[in-house]
Structure 1
Amino acid sequence: MTDPRVPDDGSVLVVAADARRRPARTTPWGRVLVGVVLVALLGGAAVATVGTLVSQRTAERFAVEDATSDTAAVARSVIEPALLDAITGGVAGSGDASDATAPTAAEHTAAADELARAVRAVTAASAAVRVKLWAPDGTVLWSDEPRLVGQRFALSEEDLEALETDRSDAEVSDLTEPENRYERGQGRLLEAYQAVHTPSGTALLLEVYYPYDSVLASAASLRSAFATLAFGTVAVAVALLLPVVLWLLLRLRAGQRERERLLVRALDAETAERRRLAADLHDGPVQDIAGLALSLGAAARTTAGPGAAVLDESATTLRAAVSTLRSSMSAIQPPVPDRQGLVAALDDATARGRAAGVRTVVDVPSTIDASPAALLATVRFVRESVANTVRHAAASAVEVVVRRTGEDLVVVVADDGVGFDPDAVLSTTRSGHLGTTLLRQIAEDAGGSLRLRTAPGAGTRWDLTIPAGGPGW
């Protein structure tokens, strides 16, 4: 498989151009505020919506309970007072002991009429659509649907339990059951049942059927009230949250500006300190050593014998020391390329190579259109590249070429030294290869790409491509 770090020209891609850093942008505080408000609104709406859906089920349950309570109240206050023992009509299991005690037909008719009057009052005052009165054995003793009276059906476990425990309950009516055949076509019905008692204490089962739409209407009313409360609460919460969020954003913005001011002050202080150190070196040791070198050179020219050679060698060493110190001064306080020109800055950057006896060629236009950040990165890159050449390459010559190509600034540093194995060097983190790491960092900081072409015995060539505008230009 082809190594993606190796381009077609054989060079090694050290830093990829598509990984360029982008300049930091000012935080869009307005968008942040809008985003916070939208999140709060969406979150609140989601909570309110879920709560509304939950309230629908809760409201239905409450409506069913209300229907159950209403049926129990009707059974106790209206139906039971209207019940007569004769309503049982001698039905088996109704509590009559024998035919001798069974009510007459007239008594049964009178009991049925009395119950009918009570039921009419119930249906007139409520939404009930059907009323049935059951004997414990499942016989319909009375109903507002006459065709059901006298028919016998199996009671459910819930019905029997209601008879035994005298409790109220309700459920959706199963209209497929035969006892409910006359209620079909009226939509869903809620069937509420309650045990009632005749004057003699016989337990009977009262069933009242309500349209389920009335339950849904009641639930909708409760749901509407909850939704209004929920969404109103969310609106109030957002309204109260908005000033707090705005205040926090203003505090964050002020904090960011303060950090920026502190950073600028720190950079200014660092620059001032670098300038002071460079000035102290230039006005102190550099001048003293340069003067001493001149004095020793003059003394060597006027001295005869072996001492002249010693003096001349000492003067040469001191001049090299002066050159090294000036390179250090350039590193501490590099020239500002956009003020002093790139040519002068690169001349200082390559001074170490010349001091080491390496022939240095700098090919750069007298003026070049690039941002100060890009020019400063160029100077840093050339200085470190030449320093690497002096330390490791054992080269006799190094060439520096700088060109503007489209939107990019291209910097090439090539030497005729011993070269090296790029895979071995780039895969190690040993301190001896710190210079390579620094070159990579310079390329990354400038938002550019860096290519290396080298091999043992074939010299070394670095190609740096950075945006001519530079970060933030």
Structure 2
Amino acid sequence: MNLRFREDGAATGPAPRETLKRALRWYLVWDLIALIGVVSGVVLLSWVVARNEALRDAEGIARAVAKALVAPLADDKFHAADPAALARMDQVMELRSRDGSLSHIKVWADAGNGKGTVLWSDQSPLVGQTFELDAEEYAIFGTDKATSQISELDKEENRLERSAGQLIEVYAGTRDATGEPILFEVYISTQRLPDEVRTLIGIILPLPLTAVLVLSLATLPLAVSLAHRVDRGQHQMRALLVNAVESSDLERRRIAQDLHDGVVQDLAGIGYSLDSDMRQLPEGAKLRAHLAQTGEIIRRDLAALRTLVTDIYPPDLVSKGLAETVRELVMQRDVPPGLVRFEIEEPLAPHPVVDRLIYRAIREALWNAVQHAEATSIVVRIAQDDTGLTSFEVVDDGVGFDPTGPSPEGHMGMRLISEMVTKAGGTIDIHSTVGKGTRLTGELPAGAT
């Protein structure tokens, strides 16, 4: 499990010019995406419109042929398969097929129960066979309605036509010369469909494309202005961050100085006085024992105050550097020998604000591990890449904690430090599992300075 102390959107980001360039790049990317979306939408719309128009045209042709040509020729002799009647149908349909308007024609009779029998077809092996029809197709027997679709020719009745690829399949209902319901089926080529799509694209596309381009050009100055405002805001945030870190160090130095020159000196003086007074009293006197106990308390508190002064006094990062200052942390408190191991990739380029923030984060994590984790091993790592990005890590094998529960003791200070690191453009992550230790990882870019 892991616990993250990162507030998205709080980072200061890159240098001003980089921010402007990045903002313009994103603006152009989104413009390009909008253009691609418009073009794709127009192409899709054109295809849908062209397909629907092609289907409507095919239905109109099928209804007209069914009513004007097929119905009059479908008389009793035609139903009886009279050769002369069939020849007349062959001749008429051949003329219609020859001009390219129709192909793969069938005339159906109602066979009942959702089935139809092929009375005539340009594919003679199909004549006389009965096939299952779709409910929508069967429903138009004896009506003047039509239904159409772009067919993949995957039905059993299409087994002789599959080599033609995609075709527009149209069923048109009518009644024959004797008044019996029949169904006229015809297939129409889709070869004209791409040309119609391209024509529609040429008609539809210019308007939305022009609108997007005009809108992009109109909003470009606003985008540049907002990017400049972001730059100024980042300048101010970086200045505030530097001031906050420096002010914090200054205040720490003042408090440490006041404690050292005031309370620490006073307690040390009181301790010396008590020792002097105690030695003037006879052995076994109650007051001597009382003064000895009081002196011990004062010496203990004095040691604690001196440790506190050492903790809060800002380290000399400028002259010693981050690596040496971090190594000296183990000398500030009573840390068992061998408990802490340092793995620092040197040399580290100095970055004042970055170094101070990393030092504070490592110190906080290290003291948490020493005081609360019951760890037997603690590893502190620091590395820096060619861009100046400094990464750091504190790993212990202690008791760990549950990130879903309340913040463990000592982690409030880490939460405050993580906020400062985040505002400097960096990150801090804490991963922990109960019984398996804790790992703090973080990084800070050189741009935080």
Report the TM-score, using the length of structure 1 for normalisation: 0.46
Considering only CA atoms, is the larger Rg found in Structure 1 or Structure 2?
A: 1
Report the TM-score, using the length of structure 2 for normalisation: 0.48
